Homo-oligomer: A and B are copies of this chain.
Amino acid sequence: MKVRKPPFPSAGLFGTCETFQPEVGKELYAWAKQLFPLHRSLTGKGNLETLRFIQTKVPGLKIKALKSGTRCLDWVIPPEWNVQDAYILDPRGKKIIDFRKNNLHVMAYSEPVDKRLTLNELQAHLYSLKNQPTAIPYLTTYYKKRWGFCLSHQQRKKLKPGMYRAVIQASKKNGNLVYGELLLPGKSRKEVFLSTYICHPSMANDQLSGVVVLTALARWLSHCRQRNHSFRLIWIPETIGAIAYLSQNLKKMKKQIRVGWQLACLGDPGPFSFLPSRQGDTQADKISKKILGENGKSFRVWSFLKRGSDERQWCFPGVDLPVASVMRSKYGAYPEYHTSLDNLSFVRPKSLGEAYHLYKKILGLADENFYWRIKTIAEPNLGKRNLYPDLGTKDTAAAIESLSNVIAFADGSTSCVEIAERCKIPALECVKILRLLRAAKLVTAVSGG
Q: A-side interface residues toward B, CB under 8 Å?
A: 73-75, 108, 127, 129, 137-144, 239, 242-243, 246-247, 250, 278, 304-308, 312-313, 315-319, 332, 337-339, 373-374, 376-381, 383-384, 390-394, 397-398, 401, 404-405, 407-412, 422-424
Say which residue of B312, B374, B380 sits within 8 Å of A404 (CB atoms): B312
Q: Collect the chain B residues with CB atoms within 8 Å of residue A338's CB.
A: 393-394
**CB contact between A383 and one of B129, B144, B312, B409 (< 8 Å): that residue:** B144
B374–A317 touching, CB < 8 Å? yes
> What's the least CB distance linking A79 to chain B, in Å?
15
Distance, CA A319 to CA B405, complexed state (A): 15
Bound CA span A422–B279, Å = 12
Listed A/B pairs (15) with beta-carbon separation below 8 Å: A74-B377, A127-B393, A141-B390, A144-B383, A144-B391, A246-B377, A247-B378, A305-B423, A305-B424, A306-B401, A312-B408, A317-B409, A318-B374, A318-B377, A337-B394
Tell whether, in the assembled complex, residue B380 and residue A74 are in contact, meaning their CB atoms are under 8 Å apart.
yes
Q: How many copies does the complex hold?
A: 3
The reply to whether A392 and B332 form a contact with Cβ atoms under 8 Å apart is: no
| In the complex, chain B residues whose CB is within 8 Å of the CB of A332 | 394, 397-398
The residue that A379 contacts in the complex, of B144, B305, B313, with Cβ under 8 A, is B313
Q: Which residues of chain B have C-beta atoms less than 8 A from A246's C-beta?
A: 377-378
Contact of A378 among B137, B304, B319, B423 (CB under 8 A): B319
The CA-CA distance from A142 to B390 in the complex, in Å, is 8
A378: chain B residues at CB < 8 Å are 73-74, 242-243, 246-247, 313, 316, 319
A397-B140 in contact given A247-B377, A378-B74 (Cβ < 8 Å): no
When distances are taken between beta carbons in the complex, the residues of chain B under 8 Å from A305 are 401, 405, 422-424
Contact for A317 among B313, B398, B411, CB less than 8 A: B411
Flag if B318 contacts A143 (CB, 8 Å): no
Determine if B394 and A319 form an interchain contact, defined as CB atoms under 8 angstroms apart: no
Docked-complex contact B317 and A397, CB < 8 angstroms? no
Question: What is the bound-complex CA distance between A112 and B312, given in angstroms?
Answer: 73
Q: Are A392 and B141 in contact (CB under 8 A)?
A: yes
Bound state CA distance, A378 and B316, in angstroms? 6
> A317 — which chain B residues lie within 8 A by C-beta?
373-374, 407-412
- Kindly state the separation between the CA atoms of A142 and B382 in the bound complex, as whole angstroms: 13
Given contacts A305-B405, A391-B144, contact A381 B75 (CB under 8 A): yes
> Contact between B141 and A377 (Cβ–Cβ < 8 Å)?
no
Q: Given B247, B377, B410, which contacts A250 in the complex, CB threshold below 8 Å? A: B377
The residues of B that contact A139 with a CB separation of less than 8 Å are 391-393
Cβ of B74 and Cβ of A143 under 8 Å apart? Answer: no
- Per CB-CB distance, the 8 closest pairs between chain A and chain B, nearest first, are A317-B411, A140-B392, A144-B390, A243-B378, A143-B383, A338-B394, A313-B378, A74-B381
Q: A243-B378, A378-B246, A390-B144 are in contact. Are A304 and B408 (CB under 8 A)?
A: yes
- B319–A377 CB distance below 8 A: yes
Question: CA–CA, A350 to B423, complex, Å?
Answer: 36
**Do the beta carbons of B408 and A316 come within 8 Å of each other?**
yes
Shortest Cβ gap from A271 to chain B (Å) = 22
From residue A106, how far is it (CB to closest CB) to chain B in Å?
A: 14
For the complex, give the distance between the alpha carbons of A301 and B173 in Å: 63
